[in-house]
């Protein structure tokens, strides 16, 4: 690491510690030339994640879209914002952990639905009704039956 004072390229690390909840590494360094100390921060480089829409368009992944959809599906439910944000963080982590630079929007929608199924049943049905574009009461009842089967399977 180049010294910001004398521009010498040789420095040594004196101390390293995690910062910003482990997302950054803070390093205290000392220049081998002039002896002055300085701090550097090391951050994991995040490549932009692209979402491939159903019509083939591509757009940058926006966590806020998931957050807003989950907030709407949890409207008037006794669910704290902290729990909602934690759920969205898990979903984003799962999407990014695929290690793919492009993810289909349908895959993200299914992941959200799968997480909501165990998170809150009413929120799941609300999200499903918009995501799956229920056309009539039959498709709504079918989704309720799937949820009931999942719940029964989970209890075994």
Number of domains in the chain: 2
Instruction: Please check whether residues 38 and 54 belong to one and the same domain.
Output: no
Taking Cα atoms as reference points, which of 66, 83, 68 lies closest to residue 118?
83
The answer for 56, left when phi > 0, alpha when psi is -120 to 50, beta otherwise, is: left
Are 28 and 80 contained in the same domain? no
DSSP, collapsed to helix, strand or coil, labels residue 80 as: coil
Asked whether residue 6 is domain-assigned, the answer is no
Q: Give percent of the chain with pLDDT exceeding 70.
A: 97
Asked if residue 1 is part of any domain, the answer here is no
Report, as an integer, the average pLDDT of 126-130: 88
How does residue 55 score in pLDDT terms, banded at 50, 70 and 90? very high
CB atoms within 10 A of CB 80: 9
Evaluate whether 91 touches 66 at the Cβ level (below 8 Å).
yes
**Residue whose pair of structure tokens reads 């807003």 in the numeric block:** 68
Q: Do both 111 and 34 map to the same domain?
A: no
Q: Are residues 140 and 89 in the same domain?
A: yes
């Amino acid at each position: 690491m180049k010294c910001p004072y004398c521009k010498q390229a040789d420095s040594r690390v004196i101390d390293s510690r995690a910062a910003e909840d482990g997302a950054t590494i803070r390093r205290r360094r000392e220049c081998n030339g002039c002896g002055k100390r300085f701090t550097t921060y090391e951050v994991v480089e995040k490549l932009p994640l692209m979402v491939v829409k159903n019509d083939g368009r591509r757009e940058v992944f926006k966590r806020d879209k998931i957050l807003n959809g989950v907030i709407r599906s949890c409207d008037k439910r006794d669910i704290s914002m902290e729990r909602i944000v934690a759920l969205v963080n898990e979903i984003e982590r799962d999407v990014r952990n695929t290690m793919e630079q492009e993810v289909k929007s349908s895959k993200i929608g299914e992941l959200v639905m799968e997480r909501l199924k165990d998170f809150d049943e009413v929120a799941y049905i609300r999200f499903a009704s918009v995501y799956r574009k229920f056309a009539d009461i039959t498709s709504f009842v079918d989704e309720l039956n799937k949820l009931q089967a999942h719940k029964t399977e989970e209890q075994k």
